Amino acid sequence: MGFLALLAVAAIGWAIWKGKLHAQQLPPVLLGLAGAFLTARGSLLIGVGAVIIAAAWYRGLHLRLLGSRTKPTAISNLDEARFLLGVSRFDTADRIRARHRTLIAQSHPDAGGSDTSAADLNKARDILLDDLNEKRR
């Protein structure tokens, strides 16, 4: 049992280090692991209850972070915009603006860039900021 606990801690550490697991997602994951541990130790009622609560909590958090009302075409546009600016879906509006500012300085027509690349960066920034504003409502 100790080896499995050590393996779970290593997996969580790796996921946090690689950016696959964020601080907001950590409590439901830990609750689910604790529930699984309790279930394995024989406390079925408490363990299964903890796993169910953790699954519901994580699912709600996942929907809130990723958004549940976006259309498939909007998702692909969001992914393209994130890729173009080099940001993740967990970045804040300030991070998006800072990244846009950096890239627009490099690709602005006055700095030797093209009009289309600057327009694409502006459009990507607008798409991502609009998406963040919709999620806040």
Residue 2 buriedness (CB in 10 A; 0-12 / 13-18 / 19+): exposed
Domain boundaries, the chain: 2-66, 72-132
Q: Residue 99: pLDDT above 90?
A: yes
- Cα–Cα distance measured from residue 120 to residue 128, given in angstroms and rounded to the nearest whole number: 12
Average pLDDT for residues 96-105, to the nearest whole number? 93
Query: Is the Cβ–Cβ distance between 89 and 114 less than 8 Å?
Result: no
3-state helix, strand, coil in the chain (%, to 5): 80, 0, 20
Residue 85 is predicted with a pLDDT of 92
| pLDDT band at residue 9 using 50, 70 and 90 as cut-offs | confident
Question: Would you call 102 helix, strand, or coil by DSSP?
Answer: helix
pLDDT tens, residue by residue, 16-62: 888 787 778 888 888 888 898 899 888 889 999 999 988 888 888 76
Residue 73 is predicted with a pLDDT of 47
- Cα–Cα distance measured from residue 85 to residue 17, given in angstroms and rounded to the nearest whole number: 22
User: Percentage of the chain with pLDDT > 90?
Assistant: 25
Q: What is the pTM of this model?
A: 0.45
Looking at domain 72-132, its CATH class is mainly alpha
Residue 8 is predicted with a pLDDT of 85
